[in-house]
Amino acid sequence: MDKFDKVLFGILVLSFIVFIGALIIDIANYNLETPLSINSLTEDFTPSDRIKENQIKVYEDRVVIEIPNAKWAKFAPTDSMTPLLNENSNAIQIIPETEDQVEVGDIVSYESFAGQTRGLIIIHRIIEKNIDEEGVYFIAKGDNNLQPDPEKIRFSQIKRVLVGVIY
């Protein structure tokens, strides 16, 4: 075996050792890979419980839900709140009287003051409630959107809070 053959053989042996080492590391870490759960993509923001059991009356021919000042709503086909809401959903909303009646998890309709959506009524879930130098603000996000909405929402922008969806 000449010098060239020895070097080539050494390179092949070294390559084989590196390959086997990488394979062993990959196999050892195989169980560490876990697919993301759909629940881990977003935090669990659930709406406030606004309708109590005694407000719901079920009869043989109808259902009555006693909600003072209830408003009915339909939605544009944007898919931002899919799968909860779509353009065929019928919703029941109320008008909140104070910022204390709006909590993280609530789904609100608000007037946007930002960019391309300026003047539109947006319905998204509140994911943050905080205070800055101007007072209380809210951050909202569509359930099917990757990013939060691009503005701090003030209570004066919030028109309604979702209390029920009828499919």
Domain that holds residue 7: 3-33
- Specify the number of domains making up the chain: 2
Judge if 128 and 153 occupy the same domain.
yes
Judge if 29 and 43 occupy the same domain.
no
Judge if 146 and 95 occupy the same domain.
yes
Query: Residue 112 contacts by C-beta under 8 Å, 6 or more apart in sequence?
Result: 118, 119, 120, 121, 122, 149, 151, 157
Judge if 21 and 97 occupy the same domain.
no
Judge if 25 and 107 occupy the same domain.
no
CA 63 to chain centroid, in Å, comes to 30
| CATH number of the CATH domain containing 160 | 2.10.109.10
Q: What is the pTM of this model?
A: 0.72
The pLDDT confidence band at residue 30, using thresholds 50, 70 and 90, is low
Judge if 24 and 88 occupy the same domain.
no
The pLDDT confidence band at residue 84, using thresholds 50, 70 and 90, is very high
> Residue 109: helix, strand or coil by DSSP?
strand
The pLDDT confidence band at residue 2, using thresholds 50, 70 and 90, is confident
Judge if 70 and 130 occupy the same domain.
yes
Judge if 161 and 80 occupy the same domain.
yes
Residue 57 has pLDDT above 90, yes or no: yes
Judge if 127 and 71 occupy the same domain.
yes
Residue 106, CB half-sphere, CA atoms under 13 Å: how many? 25
Judge if 26 and 47 occupy the same domain.
no
Judge if 111 and 158 occupy the same domain.
yes
Judge if 27 and 53 occupy the same domain.
no
Instruction: Give the pLDDT confidence of 136-155 residue by residue, as tens digits.
Output: 999 999 999 999 999 999 99
